Chain A
Amino acid sequence: MLIAEPLQRAIDELSKLPSIGRKTALRLALYLLKSEKADVELFVKSLIELKEKIKFCSICSNITVDEICDVCKSRKRDRSIICIVEEASDIIAIERTNEYNGLYHVLGGVLSPLSGKDADSLNIHKLIERVENSEVKEILVALNPDTEGETTTLYLAKLLKPFGIRISRIARGLPIGGDLEFADEATIGRAVLGRVDL
């Protein structure tokens, strides 16, 4: 079947998005085709604005519209602790908890020689600068508990040790409200090893 060229182009572009296949792309394109022109213009405008207005914070690389992000700007935040995360999306996850009131630092990846990620390609220099030039007393490493995340955590711990500040990592264990019997063995095993005194 021959598809009109503008439609085909829209399908091709949409299917470049993550987790969008050809069929979903077709459905989305047809939906947009049926929508009001004003709505589609609004949609397109929001995407362009996203690209034009969003910047990365010059201090922590968080997503922001200004030079410096809201977290780094805020006077209410605790400036003595920095939480290291892999991506800006992790900040959103931690912020939703309302449990953390310190600052952040986005690494932009983890060490992975196989995919060509080494320490130089991570946002580490700026982190060192921040630790050197501020009143930071603690670094909290919050990376994924997989091989690459673990290794990066170990690497950062070594790197930051000479500064004589507290270096911590997020705990690993069981999900809240979870049933012990339904958790997988490895998670329970880790939780047992990382038990805490009462």
Chain B
Amino acid sequence: MTIDFIELENFRLHKKTKLKFSKELNYIVGGNGQGKTTILEGIYYLCTTKSLNQSSDIEAVNFDSNFFEVKGKFSDLTTNTARVYYDTEVNKKSIFIDDKQIYRASAVIGKFPVVTLTQSDHAITLGAPSERRKFVDSVISQSSETYLKILLEYNKTLRQRSSLLTQIKEANSKNLFDQLEAWTENLIKNGTEIVKHRLSFISDFNDYLKTAYENIMGEIENPEIEYSFLGECAAGNIENVFEEEIKKRREEELRRATNVVGPHRDDFEFIVNDYSLKKYGSQGQHKTFQIALRFGEFFFLNDKIGRKPVFLMDDIYGELDLFRAGKISDYLGKIGQAFITMTDFTKYDNLKKTENDLLINVKNGIAENA
């Protein structure tokens, strides 16, 4: 899937920007605060109806205006136009695909798959376990609607169960214990499904990660994601260990009135050459790992859903040495269409720009093809 063009109106700095894109690499170049990332954000809005950094819609409206509009055309086997319109007066966002209004945002999500590689990805390898769960959940959810539904059910069960645990703590009624048992059984059932999905995803995804890492670094390092649930990796045993552990920690659950056992507390260990990345990894290894995760995600989704996602890469080159910058530039050639923001194109002699690639200059909210 590719994007042919985009039109931004009153979208952050961009009062009125119209851009045609190349079906291969699109380098978006300009100084800080000139509106490079905004172009990526526009594309992201069309794919997901949401902003890149989870800011609210109203923040995306130009200061002198009371609405924004983003319009674009996607080409795959057929073409689709997509349009997002937001009005500050009524605080309402309208989404149109082929000029037909879409009332459920979920009908858009997954239609135009997108993979982003941004600075905030450092949280995936350096941050809390929740960041890694978020990454894993988002990749699996994009490839499996079933997983997304189970995840939503599981989260609802967590909320209900913790509410019940609180009631038990306050009232200490014997009758509620029977109900806790029912909620526990449901938690184990849904939780086991989640763990099984995650196990099979990780074993699949490791190959994609390795390939991506190799393409960025050469064959000198061996990356891996390790995942186990309470030390158990065999799908057949998950339900048993889950049940055992939750029995064992019953007192703790009652005392703290929270769900202490389950995949909502999972972590994923990132390994390079048999060593923990979190404990022993260098800054450079972290960066490479983050980039490999996103390239891996791209090719994983490409295989699973049979369509190329849109690839957005925000200001990554600034942190890379020339060797890896050159490698990534080569690797991008295999992606198809990608959008890459950077402050200075001339700095990187290693970047290979073919005649099909496009250079877009952005200055103070005005973008033009160079």
Chain A interfacial positions (CB closer than 8 Å to B): 111-114, 118-120, 146-148, 150-152, 154-155, 158-159, 184-186, 189
Contacts and interface: CB of A to CB of B under 8 A. Distances in A.
- Of A112, A147, A185, A189, most B-chain CB atoms within 10 Å: A147
Interface stretch (B152-160, B202-210, B239-247): B152-160
Contacts of A148: 156, 160
B186 A151 contact: yes
Given A118-B176, A150-B189, A151-B183, 7 more contacts: A113-B161, A114-B163, A118-B175, A154-B182, A158-B182, A184-B145, A186-B150
B182 A186 contact: no
Dominant secondary structure of chain A at its interface with chain B:
helix
List the 6 closest pairs (A to B, CB-CB), nearest first: A155-B182, A113-B164, A113-B163, A185-B145, A186-B149, A154-B182
Contacts of A189: 146
B160 A158 contact: no
A152 B157 CA distance: 12
Interface in B157-186: 157, 159-161, 163-164, 167, 175-176, 178-179, 181-183, 185-186
A120 B156 contact: no
B178 A158 contact: yes
A119 B178 contact: yes
- Of A112, A113, A118, A158, most B-chain CB atoms within 10 Å: A113
A186 B164 contact: no
13 contacts: A111-B160, A113-B160, A113-B161, A113-B179, A114-B163, A118-B175, A119-B175, A119-B178, A147-B186, A148-B156, A151-B186, A155-B179, A155-B181
Interface string B278-308: 0000000000000000000000000000000
A146 B186 CA distance: 11
Contacts of A159: 178
